[in-house]
Homo-oligomer: A and B are copies of this chain.
Amino acid sequence: MTTDPQRAIQDLYEAYDRREDRLLKDYFELLRFPSISSEPDRTSDMRACADWLARYLKGLGFEVELWEGPGHPAVFARHLGAGPEAPTAIIYNHYDVQPVDPLELWESPPFEPTIRDHAVYARGASDNKGQLFYNLTALRLLLERNGRLPLNVKLCLDGQEEDGSQTLFNLLPGKQKEMAADHLLVVDLGLGSPTFPAVTLGVRGIVTMRLTVTGSNGDLHSGTHGGMAVNPNHALAELLAGLRDASGRVTVAGFYDEVEELSDAERQGLNFRFDARRYQQTFGAEPLGGEKAYPPRESATIRPTLEINGLAGGYAGTGFKTVIPAKAWANLSCRLVPRQDPATIARRVKAHLERHAPAGVRVEVQILEGGGPAVRTRSDSRVVKAAARAYEEVTGAPCHYMLEGGSIPIVPDLARATGAEVVMMGWGIGTDNVHAPNEHFHLDRLKKGCATMARTLEILAEKE
């Protein structure tokens, strides 16, 4: 085991640089698969991507299985060469990506990776193929340097993280033997900035719903019927507007019942650094969307939210159609904090919407599958401390602990199946445009991510 961390990192960087061209070629191959899990016609693209990963991991000496379930396959791989006495780490990434619309806003095609200003532009470049690929590279470099890994390593590569993780949700309860590990590393997160390393101690949960408002049995002419027919667009707007009060609080009865304030001790250990001016410069709008009683960064991490992710009704294109539509609808999601049960919260939102249905329209709320509760982890577990130390070695800056507003619904099930303590980490940053046009990932972070993972595994292998 290398004992000088800076020397170890230097070695890794030199090895990385020597083979960078080949690494990027492989990374680009991975990015070229249009592995959009939520689009029905992508089944063969998803499988092609899973097969590519299986071949790649076999090439590294891993034993690989494709786990088949109701959705796209998960890629499971293990390299147990460190022996039964050595600890085992399991790494979670996902190889599926978000849809790419609106396509016209991409400056280069989303599945033709392009380097601009030392960053790779492609759907998935950051979320999560970039983070997956630097992990594969860390494993490759460790194997090439030492001929073995410092501990046993398993990989669980989700094919449906962006679309509910159904395959893993179904299979994990029966895969406890395969998944068993000491340390679970969920590498689908980010840090404050490349010079502000941080380990994530919590992600919010999520539950999603579809709200449909139905008026007449068909579209009506807004001249003849305007003033008679109840317009589902108006009814939808009223229902949606009523979901929050002027202070930004969600008005659904019981929405905050299980929410607890952070204790002083909890708050002490967490970094809520937030630069509102910089936020506005980056995103072009002020961070005024949360509860007025909480600063933006707290409102986006320790408080639950209800967001309208999409709404539609009638003809909203250019040109004009003088219609009163038969239906209008919206996609809603709630982000959840610890102790909030997704099903309970969804039922309360549904009951609220049904109770407030305007006269003359029918309101239906469908609670969608694939949500999950919030996760909070301890800051003093071995795996969290190892990751924090690795970040500090790679960046030279002290590692912070923070909370993330996003959700990885499968994490509680991963923790249960592995029996491991979890760390949530990664090298994503807020300007990567994940889930948006022109997603990108900086080459510098690809390399640092690789070093962070390699060092985390080495630190976990050290004797206590």
Binding site for B on A (CB under 8 A): 38-39, 98-99, 101, 105, 163, 203-204, 206, 208, 215-231, 233-234, 236-238, 240-244, 279, 283-291, 294, 296-297, 299-301, 303, 305, 307-317, 319-325, 328-331, 333, 335, 359-361, 368, 370, 404-407, 430, 433-438
Q: A39-B319, A309-B320 are in contact. Are A289 and B236 (CB under 8 A)?
A: no
Contact B289 A309 (CB under 8 A): no
Q: Which B residues touch A359, using CB under 8 A?
A: 286, 288
Closest chain-B Cβ to A333's Cβ sits at a distance in Å of 6
Could you tell me the distance between the alpha carbons of A69 and B44 in the complex, rounded to whole angstroms?
A: 51
Contact B319 A315 (CB under 8 A): no
Q: Which B residues touch A324, using CB under 8 A?
A: 289, 307, 309
Could you tell me the distance between the alpha carbons of A456 and B305 in the complex, rounded to whole angstroms?
A: 65
Q: Which B residues touch A98, using CB under 8 A?
A: 321
Q: A233-B308, A307-B324, A436-B218 are in contact. Are A287 and B228 (CB under 8 A)?
A: yes
Contact A230 B286 (CB under 8 A): yes
Q: Which B residues touch A231, using CB under 8 A?
A: 289, 307-308
6 A-B pairs whose Cβ atoms sit less than 8 Å apart in the complex: A221-B436, A225-B300, A227-B291, A287-B360, A309-B314, A310-B325
Q: Which B residues touch A330, using CB under 8 A?
A: 233, 316
Contact of A289 among B39, B105, B229, B297 (CB under 8 A): B229
Contact of A309 among B240, B315, B438 (CB under 8 A): B315
Q: A218-B433, A311-B314 are in contact. Are A227 and B285 (CB under 8 A)?
A: no
Contact A285 B234 (CB under 8 A): no
Contact of A315 among B217, B310, B313 (CB under 8 A): B310
Q: Which B residues touch A219, using CB under 8 A?
A: 435-437
Q: Which B residues touch A315, using CB under 8 A?
A: 99, 101, 309-310, 331
Could you tell me the distance between the alpha carbons of A385 and B288 in the complex, rounded to whole angstroms?
A: 63
Q: Which B residues touch A237, using CB under 8 A?
A: 236-238, 240-241, 308, 311
Q: A241-B242, A319-B163, A322-B435 are in contact. Are A283 and B314 (CB under 8 A)?
A: no
Could you tell me the distance between the alpha carbons of A193 and B428 in the complex, rounded to whole angstroms?
A: 66
Could you tell me the distance between the alpha carbons of A433 and B216 in the complex, rounded to whole angstroms?
A: 12
Contact A289 B321 (CB under 8 A): no
Could you tell me the distance between the alpha carbons of A315 and B436 in the complex, rounded to whole angstroms?
A: 12
Contact of A407 among B223, B301, B312 (CB under 8 A): B223
Contact of A221 among B203, B244, B435 (CB under 8 A): B435
Contact B316 A228 (CB under 8 A): no
Q: A223-B404, A236-B237 are in contact. Are A314 and B310 (CB under 8 A)?
A: yes
Q: Which B residues touch A217, using CB under 8 A?
A: 283-285
Q: Which B residues touch A291, using CB under 8 A?
A: 227
Could you tell me the distance between the alpha carbons of A101 and B325 in the complex, rounded to whole angstroms?
A: 11
Contact of A320 among B284, B290, B331 (CB under 8 A): B331
Q: Across the interface, name the chain B residue whose C-beta is closest to A334.
A: B226
Contact B221 A434 (CB under 8 A): yes
Q: A204-B223, A219-B436 are in contact. Are A230 and B285 (CB under 8 A)?
A: yes
Closest chain-B Cβ to A454's Cβ sits at a distance in Å of 27
Contact A321 B223 (CB under 8 A): no
Could you tell me the distance between the alpha carbons of A78 and B284 in the complex, rounded to whole angstroms?
A: 59
Q: A314-B311, A333-B320 are in contact. Are A289 and B437 (CB under 8 A)?
A: no
Q: Which B residues touch A328, using CB under 8 A?
A: 311
Contact A406 B285 (CB under 8 A): no
Closest chain-B Cβ to A15's Cβ sits at a distance in Å of 33
Contact A297 B228 (CB under 8 A): yes
Q: Which B residues touch A303, using CB under 8 A?
A: 227
Could you tell me the distance between the alpha carbons of A364 and B98 in the complex, rounded to whole angstroms?
A: 30
Contact B406 A223 (CB under 8 A): yes
Q: Across the interface, name the chain B residue whose C-beta is closest to A208.
A: B320
Q: A296-B227, A405-B224 are in contact. Are A285 and B361 (CB under 8 A)?
A: yes
Contact B105 A279 (CB under 8 A): no
Could you tell me the distance between the alpha carbons of A370 and B313 in the complex, rounded to whole angstroms?
A: 23
Closest chain-B Cβ to A426's Cβ sits at a distance in Å of 12
Contact B38 A216 (CB under 8 A): no
Contact A218 B316 (CB under 8 A): no
Closest chain-B Cβ to A238's Cβ sits at a distance in Å of 5
Contact B323 A226 (CB under 8 A): no
Q: Across the interface, name the chain B residue whose C-beta is closest to A274.
A: B228
Could you tell me the distance between the alpha carbons of A219 and B310 in the complex, rounded to whole angstroms?
A: 12
